[in-house]
């Protein structure tokens, strides 16, 4: 079923920029040879993002970057984004409920804490309600189409529940503002309505979906296009990841956690075989600061996975793809802008106003991303987030003034502009599970194709479950919310 679906990919309608409406990606984007990317590690001196570079936003930035390196751990997690820290968090949670011996884990991060896609993204936590349902049902069957929605709700609910039970709502700027998709052309709306009907017929929960005509949209939001509103949140992703790192670190439980930022893993090799079992250190990770011996390795490196796993480079693996964002001051009040988050022509451009602790008259800052398709090559195979694309930047500057006449000033320059690297896969889905033969004890959770906020946290959870099952000699059973086609062993 999974292999057969590949041939059909070319025929379906395609999502070009997937922050929200994911789906299979046009095959022509993978024609470029992987050799065009000379170096698959994060570059130094990335552009400054609102989430990372606002004052005091990243107290963990250089954590563990000096002093002695942890040279030995049961579990080595490479990457400190949403996926890597979720894996650590869930390992700690799973072990707390078990009779296992305590474990040690180390997170190795090439740059500053959470300075990859998670620290540079659009901030939307938008679980799909029904978009692309027909595409998934056609390719993989109704059951998979439903689990594709289920994982996004499982993730979003999980994140929101943790934030609320830890009292972190203000610390992470959690906003329950809903999400509106604007339709700039009739075909998009027709497609969305067909997806809605298919999801409805399959039994998806669509209670919160609200269709809005042009008049309604004009009076509520000031844009003369139709749209559809669903439930959604937005938050400060880096602060959420810091929050769950803090919880995991401080918990006096069965996982001792260490973090080393500014410590790229440049290569890895197998250690001489030792007796099988948990404490057998199978892998040697090399960093400029020394090497680390590990029993389990988790690749939470998203766009950069190909550096340590060469078979992940290119069309069957993960293609680094650069996204760009501006932070632009609106010419309207917070009340006028509302707290809704948006995407236009589902998923292509995406934006929301920053929640404001509004001093009287202050105008919100709007975080807007997209426009990638206007750049030559659509920014595919671009791994350099130390620069921005002028073409994309120009497009983004003109976008909001056109959509919301009078609410933005065309002449105003953005206060910040940055890029980040997404990890695209041809299927549009992440790889989750064991890396495969010759990589005993290694797992991957990567390739979120620009739509990671409502998926990465749960995929980290799945990998943590697999590791705990493996070390206790149990068979891992997939949770109902995990699409089967994400699993590494089901990939074509």
Q: Cβ of residue 261: shortest distance to ligand NAG, in angstroms?
A: 13
Instruction: Using only the alpha carbons of the chain, give its radius of gyration.
Output: 22
Nearer to ligand FAD, 325 or 464 (CB): 325
Q: Taking Cα atoms as reference points, which of 318, 304, 322, 321 lies closest to residue 78? A: 304
For tokens 């057969």, name the residue.
4
Footprint on this chain of ligand NAG (rule: CB under 6 A):
59, 170-171, 239, 242-243, 246, 269, 271, 276-277, 284, 286, 291, 331, 357, 406, 409, 434, 440-441, 470
Do the Cβ atoms of 381 and 319 come closer than 8 Å?
Answer: yes
| Residue 357 contact partner, candidates ligand FAD, ligand NAG, none, CB within 5 to 8 A by sort of partner | ligand NAG
| Residue 451 contact partner, candidates ligand FAD, ligand NAG, none, CB within 5 to 8 A by sort of partner | ligand FAD
For tokens 């890029």, name the residue.
419
Alpha-carbon torsion 46, 51, 57, 62, what sign?
negative
> For 352, what's the count of Cα atoms within 13 Å in the CB-facing half-sphere?
27
Tokens of 360: 């009287």
The yes or no reply on residue 264 touching ligand FAD (CB under 6 A) is yes
Q: Cβ of residue 136: shortest distance to ligand FAD, in angstroms?
A: 17
**Strands 103-108, 72-78: pairing kind:** parallel
> Angle, to 10 degrees, between the axis of helix 142-165 and the axis of helix 186-201?
90
Q: Which stretch binds ligand FAD (CB under 6 A): 93-101, 106-114, 248-256, 472-480?
A: 106-114
Q: Taking Cα atoms as reference points, which of 354, 386, 388, 391 lies closest to residue 371? A: 391
Q: Cβ of residue 331: shortest distance to ligand NAG, in angstroms?
A: 4
Applying the rule CB under 6 A, the residues between 364 and 393 that interact with ligand FAD are 369
| Residue 124 contact partner, candidates ligand NAG, ligand FAD, none, CB within 5 to 8 A by sort of partner | ligand FAD
Applying the rule CB under 6 A, the residues between 417 and 446 that interact with ligand FAD are 420-422, 446
Q: Cβ of residue 86: shortest distance to ligand NAG, in angstroms?
A: 15
Chain residue at closest Cβ approach to ligand FAD: 452
The yes or no reply on residue 301 touching ligand FAD (CB under 6 A) is yes
* Calpha distance 422→151 (Å, rounded): 20
Contacts of 190 (CB under 8 A, 6+ apart): none
| Residue 59 contact partner, candidates ligand NAG, ligand FAD, none, CB within 5 to 8 A by sort of partner | ligand NAG
Helix, strand or coil, per DSSP, at residue 375:
coil
Do the Cβ atoms of 47 and 385 come closer than 8 Å?
Answer: yes
Binding test (CB under 6 A) with ligand FAD, winner from 306, 314, 450, 483: 450
| Residue 452 contact partner, candidates ligand FAD, ligand NAG, none, CB within 5 to 8 A by sort of partner | ligand FAD
The yes or no reply on residue 178 touching ligand FAD (CB under 6 A) is no
| Residue 353 contact partner, candidates ligand FAD, ligand NAG, none, CB within 5 to 8 A by sort of partner | none
**Strands 255-260, 267-270: pairing kind:** unpaired
* Calpha distance 348→405 (Å, rounded): 20
Nearer to ligand NAG, 100 or 331 (CB): 331
> For 323, what's the count of Cα atoms within 13 Å in the CB-facing half-sphere?
32
Alpha-carbon torsion 289, 291, 294, 298, what sign?
positive
DSSP 62: T
> Angle, to 10 degrees, between the axis of helix 237-250 and the axis of helix 82-96?
30
Nearer to ligand NAG, 3 or 276 (CB): 276
The yes or no reply on residue 111 touching ligand FAD (CB under 6 A) is yes
Q: Cβ of residue 76: shortest distance to ligand FAD, in angstroms?
A: 10
Q: Which stretch binds ligand FAD (CB under 6 A): 74-82, 94-102, 130-138, 162-170?
A: 74-82
| Residue 160 contact partner, candidates ligand FAD, ligand NAG, none, CB within 5 to 8 A by sort of partner | none
Provide the binding-site residues for ligand FAD, judged by CB under 6 A: 19, 41-42, 78-84, 108-111, 115-118, 120-124, 264-265, 300-304, 307-308, 323, 325, 350, 369, 420-422, 446, 448, 450-454, 456
């Amino acid at each position: 079923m999974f292999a057969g679906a590949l041939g059909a990919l070319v025929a379906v309608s395609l999502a070009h920029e997937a922050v929200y409406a994911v789906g299979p990606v046009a095959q022509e984007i993978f024609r470029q040879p992987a050799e065009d990317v000379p170096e698959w590690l994060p570059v130094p001196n990335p552009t400054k993002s609102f989430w990372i570079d606002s004052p005091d936003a990243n107290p963990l930035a250089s954590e563990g970057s000096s002093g002695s390196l942890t040279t030995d751990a049961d579990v080595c997690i490479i990457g400190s984004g949403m996926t890597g820290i979720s894996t650590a968090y869930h390992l700690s949670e799973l072990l707390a409920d078990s009779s296992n011996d305590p474990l040690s884990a180390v997170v190795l991060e090439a740059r500053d804490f959470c300075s990859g896609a998670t620290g540079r993204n659009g901030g939307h936590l938008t679980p799909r309600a029904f978009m692309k349902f027909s595409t998934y049902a056609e390719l993989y069957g109704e059951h998979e189409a439903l689990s594709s929605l289920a994982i996004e709700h499982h993730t979003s609910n999980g994140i929101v529940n943790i934030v609320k039970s830890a009292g972190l709502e203000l610390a992470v700027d959690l906003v329950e503002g809903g999400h509106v998709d604007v339709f700039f052309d009739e075909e998009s709306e027709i497609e969305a309505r067909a997806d809605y009907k298919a999801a409805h017929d399959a039994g998806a929960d669509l209670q919160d979906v609200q269709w809005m005509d042009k008049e309604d949209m004009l009076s509520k939001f000031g844009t003369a296009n139709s749209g559809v509103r669903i439930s959604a949140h937005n938050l400060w992703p880096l602060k959420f990841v810091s929050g769950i790192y803090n919880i995991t670190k401080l918990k006096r439980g069965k996982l001792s956690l260490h973090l080393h930022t500014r410590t790229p893993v440049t290569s890895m090799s197998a250690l001489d075989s030792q007796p099988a079992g948990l404490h057998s250190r199978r892998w040697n990770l090399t960093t400029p600061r020394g090497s680390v011996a590990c029993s389990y390795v988790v690749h939470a490196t998203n766009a950069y996975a190909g550096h340590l796993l060469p078979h992940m480079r290119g069309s069957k693996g993960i293609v680094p793809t650069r996204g760009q964002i501006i932070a632009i001051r609106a010419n309207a009040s917070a009340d006028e802008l509302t707290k809704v988050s948006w995407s236009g022509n589902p998923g292509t451009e995406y934006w929301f106003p920053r929640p404001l602790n509004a001093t009287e008259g202050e105008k919100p800052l709007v975080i807007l991303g997209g426009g990638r398709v206007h750049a030559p090559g659509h920014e595919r195979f671009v791994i350099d987030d130390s620069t921005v694309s002028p073409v994309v930047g120009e497009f983004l500057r003109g976008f909001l003034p056109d959509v919301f006449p009078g609410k933005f000033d065309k002449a105003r320059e953005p206060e910040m502009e940055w890029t980040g690297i997404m990890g695209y896969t041809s299927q549009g889905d992440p790889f989750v599970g064991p890396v495969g033969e010759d990589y005993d004890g290694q797992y991957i959770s990567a390739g979120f194709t620009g739509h990671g906020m409502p998926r990465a946290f749960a995929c980290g959870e799945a990998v943590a479950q697999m590791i705990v099952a493996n070390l206790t000699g149990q068979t891992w059973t997939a949770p109902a919310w995990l699409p089967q086609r994400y699993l590494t062993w089901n990939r074509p």
